[in-house]
């Protein structure tokens, strides 16, 4: 096996292990599950957590009360637990108010949620903004409940506290930022949530170790919707630095990559991502922006209109495991996590290396042989750059084309075009222009 394959296997395993460690925690918009998650993330990468008090006004929204849960169950007339939060945290509707009561099955049923079409799976339900309580269970289990009296208990608290935002900032040579955002508000769901966290952590680890960063990087680990709204409201002064961005979610399943473009549609991030996917040769889908999905809805709201796309494998809502107990640690696999990492890392490399040059010998082609460039210096037939890439870079380096647009026109992987530009610059044939 080659070193790259070995590294990919180690990367995928590390990402999956992190997802497995985070899986049992009961995350929600707020509360201890989020804090425990951020403590584990903070062990892997430099992370600052910020607490925003309940009641804080953020644009048209308000930071909600904090929710914490210790236990929940339903007991039948014989005192047996027929639903138990400790067996699976999806059994409780997220943000359920505390309850302790006895009731008949008919009274209980309106508080029970199941999936008749997927009778063995527990659904994921929340009620963030309407105070209620409920339980989720497999439809087969719901149907097996006998008539009689039931005792229900949800030992939760819903009270003023705070919302926790996690942030990792890696400064670069320029103020221009690449934003990565993932949500940390889902309980035991692996692809929709934990895979995105694992990818963000792996990218941050990789970038923190990089000796030189041209761009600055900001990683947000935040609850969906209210988290990005809160971050944007508290950081409006920083928003103009964001030049590229990706929301990461559902990146560990076996499906092909789906890239959802930013609202702008033609931002550098949109072009770089499409180029990496196209030249990579794997099946993929590119979809236009729509104001539905993850936190790109907030980043791409008209008052911000940031160049933020969304990187996924199977798109949210389109796979049968979505928002059910089947979105488990078996559904995400190390090889797909590693593949998602490799593709996003290639986009990072393209945006780090993108630049414009001027050909200093523009009248007819310069002699490559006399400069040691002909036939692929770097020495071998499999050298880092090839002759056609050299000719494309020389021809299009008129000051107007950046390396990404040259790579697009040449239909060549960005790294080949970049390697050619570096060699030509070293040979004194190109002058690097200011961005
Ligand atoms: Zn979700």
Q: What is the pLDDT of residues 206-226, one digit of tens each?
A: 999 999 999 999 999 999 999
**316/390 same-domain check:** no
CA of 27 to the centre of ligand 1 (A): 12
Rounded to 5 degrees, φ, ψ at 434 are: -65, 145
Place of tokens 């508290």: 234
pLDDT at residue 268, as a whole number: 98
Q: Could you list the residue range(s) of the whole structural domain that residue 146 is in?
A: 67-159
**59/85 same-domain check:** no
CB 155 within 8 A of CB 70: yes
**43/170 same-domain check:** yes
Q: What is the pLDDT of residues 88-108, one digit of tens each?
A: 999 999 999 999 999 999 999
CA of 249 to the centre of ligand 1 (A): 9
Q: Write down how long the chain is.
A: 435
CA of 317 to the centre of ligand 1 (A): 8
CA of 185 to the centre of ligand 1 (A): 8
**244/389 same-domain check:** no
**364/427 same-domain check:** yes
**51/167 same-domain check:** yes
Residue 393 to residues 162, 319, 370, 414, Cα–Cα distance (Å):
53, 43, 18, 11
pLDDT at residue 350, as a whole number: 97
pLDDT at 69 exceeding the cut of 80: yes
Weakest mean pLDDT among 236-240, 318-322, 376-380: 376-380
**258/213 same-domain check:** yes
Name the domain count of the chain. Answer: 3
* Rounded Cα gap, residues 101 and 74, in angstroms: 10
**278/206 same-domain check:** yes
- 159, 178, 193 — which closes off a domain? 159
Contacts from 296-300 at CB under 8 Å and sequence distance 24+?
Answer: 296/247, 296/260, 296/262, 296/263, 297/225, 298/225, 298/228, 298/229, 298/232, 299/179, 299/181, 299/228, 299/232, 299/242, 299/245, 299/247, 300/262, 300/263, 300/264
**31/172 same-domain check:** yes
CA of 387 to the centre of ligand 1 (A): 47
Of 201, 236, 132, 161, which is closest to residue 344 (Cα–Cα)?
201
**371/229 same-domain check:** no
**84/96 same-domain check:** yes
- 159, 179, 203 — which closes off a domain? 159
User: 377 pLDDT band (50/70/90 cuts)?
Assistant: very low
Q: If you average pLDDT over every residue of the chain, what do you get?
A: 95
CA of 403 to the centre of ligand 1 (A): 37
User: 3 pLDDT band (50/70/90 cuts)?
Assistant: low
pLDDT at residue 371, as a whole number: 87
DSSP H helices, 209-329, are: 226-234, 268-280, 296-299
Q: Is residue 219 classed exposed, middle or buried when 0-12, 13-18 and 19+ CB atoms within 10 A define those classes?
A: buried
CA of 197 to the centre of ligand 1 (A): 13
CA of 95 to the centre of ligand 1 (A): 15
What residues are paired with 169 via a beta bridge?
218
pLDDT at residue 381, as a whole number: 47
CA of 360 to the centre of ligand 1 (A): 52
pLDDT at residue 369, as a whole number: 84
CA of 211 to the centre of ligand 1 (A): 36
pLDDT at 355 exceeding the cut of 80: yes
CA of 219 to the centre of ligand 1 (A): 19
User: 370 pLDDT band (50/70/90 cuts)?
Assistant: confident
- 110, 126, 159 — which closes off a domain? 159
Q: What is the pLDDT of residues 119-147, one digit of tens each?
A: 999 999 999 989 999 999 999 999 999 99
């Amino acid at each position: 096996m080659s070193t790259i394959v070995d590294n990919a296997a180690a990367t995928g395993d590390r990402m999956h292990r992190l997802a497995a460690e985070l899986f049992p925690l009961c995350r929600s918009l707020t509360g201890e599950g989020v804090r425990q998650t951020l403590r584990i993330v903070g062990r892997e990468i430099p992370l600052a957590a910020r607490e925003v008090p309940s009641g804080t006004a953020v644009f048209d929204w308000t930071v909600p009360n904090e929710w914490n849960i210790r236990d929940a169950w339903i007991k039948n007339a014989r005192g047996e637990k027929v639903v138990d939060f400790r067996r699976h945290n999806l059994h409780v509707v997220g943000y359920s108010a505390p309850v302790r009561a006895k009731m008949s099955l008919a009274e209980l049923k309106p508080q029970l949620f199941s999936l008749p079409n997927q009778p063995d799976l527990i659904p994921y339900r929340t009620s963030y903004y309407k105070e209620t309580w409920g339980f989720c269970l497999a439809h087969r289990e719901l149907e097996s409940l006998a008539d009689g009296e039931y005792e229900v208990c949800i030992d939760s608290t819903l009270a003023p506290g705070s919302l926790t935002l996690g942030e990792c900032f890696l400064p670069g040579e320029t103020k221009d930022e690449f934003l990565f955002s993932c949500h940390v508000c889902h309980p035991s769901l692996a692809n929709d949530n934990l895979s995105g966290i694992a990818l963000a952590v792996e990218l941050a680890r990789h970038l923190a170790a990089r000796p030189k960063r041209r761009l600055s990087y900001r990683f947000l680990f935040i609850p969906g919707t209210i988290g990005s709204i809160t971050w944007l409201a508290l950081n409006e002064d920083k928003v103009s630095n964001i030049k590229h961005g990706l929301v990461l979610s559902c990146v560990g399943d076996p499906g092909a990559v789906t890239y959802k473009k930013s609202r702008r549609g033609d931002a550098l991030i949109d072009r770089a991502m499409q180029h990496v996917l196209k030249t990579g040769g794997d099946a993929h889908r590119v979809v236009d922006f729509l104001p539905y999905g993850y936190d790109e809805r907030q980043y791409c709201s008209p008052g911000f209109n940031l160049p933020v796309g969304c990187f996924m494998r199977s798109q949210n809502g389109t796979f049968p495991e979505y928002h059910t107990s089947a979105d488990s640690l078996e559904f995400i696999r190390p090889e797909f996590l590693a593949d998602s990492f490799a593709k996003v890392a290639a986009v990072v490399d393209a945006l780090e290396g993108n630049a414009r040059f001027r050909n200093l010998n523009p009248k007819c082609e310069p002699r490559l042989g006399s400069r040691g460039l002909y036939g692929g210096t770097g020495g071998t037939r499999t050298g880092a750059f090839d002759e056609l890439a050299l000719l494309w870079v020389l021809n299009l380096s008129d000051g107007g084309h950046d390396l990404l647009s040259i790579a697009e026109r040449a239909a060549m992987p960005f790294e080949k075009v970049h390697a050619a530009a570096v060699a030509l610059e070293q040979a004194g044939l190109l002058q690097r222009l200011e961005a």
